[in-house]
Structure 1
C-alpha cells in the first residue's frame, strides 16, 4: 500500500469543518508515479542548490549585511550618526532605517504572494521548472552583485533596501520550483531524508560563509580599506560568486520535469484557473489544503525564530556583534546537523510526527528562554541552540509532507501556494512581537509572541490528517 494515498471516506480537517466526502479515487502524487532508484548524483546536485543560495539568507539578510551595515550608523545623516549611542534622536533614526527596510521587504512579500502560485502553475504546464529556477537564481546572483554599489551613505539606503527586496522575490520564486523538484529526486521511502539533506546542507553552507566573514573580521580584513562600507560590499559579491559556483550542478545533472497534461493559459487567466484549482484541491486532496493553512501559521513562527533571534541576543542578553555572528555559526551548525539526522525519522515515522514533535520542542525551549532570562547569556546559548535543533527538522518535514500529498504535475503550483499562504500569514509573528514589546517595554517579552504563533500552528497541525498513517491503516 502506498504511503501517500489519502483516506477516501473519512471527513478531514480542523474540528468544526463541514463533513464532506472526497472522491474515492484521489489524484496520484508525483512520488507515487516515480519508479526505480534516483541516482545519487542527482540527489546531491539538487541538495547543493540549498548550500549555494543559503548565504543570501544567513549572511546578507539575517546576520551581517542588513543587521550590521544597511540598518547601521553608516546610513544616518552625519550630524545624527555623531550623537551618543543612547540619544533618542539617534535611536529614532536607526528605527527609521529598520522600518524602511521592512517596508520594502513587505512589498517583496506581496509580490511573492501574487506571483508564486501562478508562475509555478506555468512552470508545471510548460515542463520548465528548471528553466524558471535557473532564471530566478541568476536574478538572485545579480541582486547580490549589485549590492557592491551600496556605498556607506544615506543616499544609497533605498538602493540597498530595494536590492534586498528584489533578491528576496528572486529567492522565493526560485524556492518554489526548487521545492517542486523534490519529487524528481526522491521516492516515497526517501523523501524525508532527501528534503532533510537539502535543508541541512543549506545550514552548513551558511556556517561556512559566516565563518569566513568572522575570520576576515578578526584579521581586520587583511588590510582592506574599511571606509565606505567596502568589507560589507565585498561580502555581498562573495555571496554572489558562492551561489554561482555551487548552484550549477543542479542544472547539469537533474533532468527537467515533464510537462503537465493541462492546456496553457495566459498570466491573467492563470488566476482564474488558480481559484478553480484551490476549490478542486479542497475537494480532491483535503490533506494538502489543510496543511497549507496550518503550515502558513507555524512557518511564520519558525521564520520569527531566525528573524528576531539576533535581536534578542544583542538587546536582551547583551551579545556583542562578534558574539552574534559566532552564535549564528553555532545556530546554523546545530540546525544543519539535526535536520539531516531527523530526515531518516521523517521516512520512518512520517512528516506529521516530526513536525508536531519539533513544534512542541520549540514552544518549550522558547518559554524556557523567557522564563530563565535573568540567569544571563548561558540561558540564550542553551535555549537558543535548542530552538535551532527543532527549526530545521520542522522546515524540512513540511516540505516532504507537501511533496507526499501534492497531485502529480502540480508541484510548482502547490509549492507556489505554499509560498503564498506563508506570506499571507507573515504578519503574525512580527505583529505579536511588536505588540508585546509595546505593552511591556522589554524586548524579551516579544519572544512570547513568536512562541504563541508556533503554538497556534501546532494546534492547527494536530487537526491535519497524515496520509501515510491513513494509508497504512487501510493496508
Structure 2
C-alpha cells in the first residue's frame, strides 16, 4: 500500500520532541471522560432516548424526526465556524483557552435542559439545546484533538488517541451508573426528587453539566498552552476565511490525498455519529427496550467500545489508521444490515454490541490519520477542517434517518439511511493513500 507523507512545510508529528508525562496524558484523557456526560448521558442513552423522544413529546417517531433535523442545523453551524476557530486558536496561541470556553458553553447548554418540561411544546427547545451543545462540543474538540499532537509522537499517537476514546467510554459507564441508580431507578431520589413533571431527567441535565465541568479542569491545568507563532500576522475574523481557502488550495496542490481523506471521513464519521445518536432511540422505539435494558446495554456497549478503542490503538501504530478504519466500517455495515431485519432484544444485544466494537476504532483512527499529517503550529487549523468537512455533511445521516422513517412509517427503517452513509464513506476511503507511519510504532509509549 502506498503511503502519504507530509508535504513541504507540513512536518507532521515529530519524534524528537520531549515526551509528555503520564500525568499530562491522563489529564488530556480526562476531558474525554467528562465529555461522556454530554455524549452518552444526554445525547445517546438517557435524556434523548428515554425522555426527549418519548410519548410526552409527541411519540418516538415524531420526536426522533425533530431531533434529527435539529442536529442537521447544528451541523451547518459547525461547518461554518470550526476551521476558522481552529486556525485562530493556533495563530493566537489560545488553544487551551478556547477549549475551556467552548466546554463551559456545552455545560451551560446541558444545564439548560433542566427547563425542558414533559410536553410537546418543549420539544423544539430541548432539541435546539442539544443541537447547540453539539456545536460547541465540536468546537472544543477541535482544540482538544490538536492537543493530541502536543502529547504524542508518530509512534505513540495511535495508542494515546485510543486511550482517550476508551476514557470517554469508561467515563460514560460511571456517569450512567450514577445517573440510573442515583436518579432514575429510585422512586424517590436525593432531595425528594421524583419523576413528576420529568424532574428525574431534568436533574440528570444538571448532573451532566457538573460532570463536564469537573473533568475538563485537569487538561486546562496540566497541558501547557500552545505557543503563538510570532511570524504569523494577526488577522480579522473574515480575513481568516481567506487564509482558510489559501490553505485548502495549498493542500490541493501538495497534499491532495489529505483532502480526499477529509471528504471520505466526512461521510463515514457522520454515519458513526448517527449510530450513537440514534442507537438507544432505536433500541427503545423498535426493539422494546425498557429503561433498565437501555442502561445495561449502555454499560456493556461502552465496555466493548473501550476495549475496541484500546486494541485498535495498538493496531493503528502497527498497521496504520487506514487499515483499522476499513476493517471497522466493514464490520459496521455487516452488523447494521443484520440488525435492520432482526427481531427481538437478543438480536439487538448481539449486533448492537458488534456496532459498539467497531465504532470506537473507526473514530480514533480517523483522528490519528489527520494527526499524522497535521503541520506543526497549524494543528488546530487542520483539525478544524476535519471538523468542518465532517459537519459539512452532518445533516446527511440524520436527514436520511428521518426521511426513511417518514417514507416507511416506522423508526426501524431509519437504519437504512445510516448504512447508506457508512457505505459511501468506505467507498470514498478505499482509493485514499494511507499516511506514513513510523516503523518503530510498536515501541512502548
User: TM-score, normalised to structure 1's length?
Assistant: 0.85
Greater Rg by CA: 1
Aligned counterparts of 1:247 and 1:196: Cα–Cα separation in 2:
18
Residue 128, structure 1, aligned to residue 94, structure 2: yes
Instruction: Kindly indicate whether the alpha-carbon contact (under 8 Å) linking 2:72 and 2:396 is maintained by their aligned counterparts in 1.
Output: no
Aligned counterpart, 1:196: 162
Aligned counterpart, 1:44: 26
Aligned counterparts of 2:289 and 2:377: Cα–Cα separation in 1:
48
Structure 1 residues 167 and 263: alpha-carbon distance in aligned structure 2, compared to 1, 3 A threshold: same
Aligned counterparts of 1:437 and 1:292: Cα–Cα separation in 2:
29
Aligned counterpart, 1:180: 146
Aligned counterparts of 2:428 and 2:155: Cα–Cα separation in 1:
26
* Alignment length (residue pairs): 435
- SS state of the match for residue 409, structure 1? coil
Q: Indicate the RMSD between aligned Cα atoms, in angstroms.
A: 2.4
**CA offsets per residue over residues 82-106 of structure 1, 9 Å max, x none?**
xxxxxxxx65xx6554444444433
Aligned counterparts of 2:91 and 2:270: Cα–Cα separation in 1:
30
Aligned counterpart, 1:455: 423
Aligned counterpart, 2:443: none
2:176 pairs with 199, 207, 210, which one? Answer: 210
1:172 to partner: Cα distance: 1.0
Aligned counterparts of 1:429 and 1:158: Cα–Cα separation in 2:
20
Further displaced range: 299-308 or 216-225:
216-225
Residue 400, structure 1, aligned to residue 368, structure 2: yes
Aligned counterpart, 2:117: 151
Aligned counterpart, 1:226: 195
Structure 1 residues 167 and 201: alpha-carbon distance in aligned structure 2, compared to 1, 3 A threshold: same
Residue 269, structure 1, aligned to residue 239, structure 2: yes
5+ long unaligned stretches in structure 2: 441-445
2:304 pairs with 323, 330, 334, which one? Answer: 334
Aligned counterpart, 1:141: 107
Instruction: Kindly indicate whether the alpha-carbon contact (under 8 Å) linking 1:29 and 1:404 is maintained by their aligned counterparts in 2.
Output: no
1:168 pairs with 134, 137, 148, which one? Answer: 134
Instruction: Kindly indicate whether the alpha-carbon contact (under 8 Å) linking 1:287 and 1:467 is maintained by their aligned counterparts in 2.
Output: no
User: TM-score, normalised to structure 2's length?
Assistant: 0.91
Alignment of 1:373-392 (within 5 A): 373-374=342-343, 376-392=344-360
Residue 429, structure 1, aligned to residue 397, structure 2: yes
Aligned counterparts of 1:236 and 1:229: Cα–Cα separation in 2:
11
Structure 1 residues 96 and 381: alpha-carbon distance in aligned structure 2, compared to 1, 3 A threshold: closer
1:435 to partner: Cα distance: 4.5
Further displaced range: 129-138 or 26-35:
26-35
Structure 1 residues 182 and 155: alpha-carbon distance in aligned structure 2, compared to 1, 3 A threshold: same
Residue 256, structure 1, aligned to residue 225, structure 2: yes
Aligned counterpart, 1:81: none
Instruction: Kindly indicate whether the alpha-carbon contact (under 8 Å) linking 1:179 and 1:415 is maintained by their aligned counterparts in 2.
Output: yes
Instruction: Kindly indicate whether the alpha-carbon contact (under 8 Å) linking 1:30 and 1:409 is maintained by their aligned counterparts in 2.
Output: no
1:63 to partner: Cα distance: 1.8
Aligned counterpart, 2:212: 243
Aligned counterparts of 1:191 and 1:123: Cα–Cα separation in 2:
22
Aligned counterparts of 1:159 and 1:455: Cα–Cα separation in 2:
33
Structure 1 residues 143 and 295: alpha-carbon distance in aligned structure 2, compared to 1, 3 A threshold: same
Further displaced range: 436-445 or 172-181:
436-445
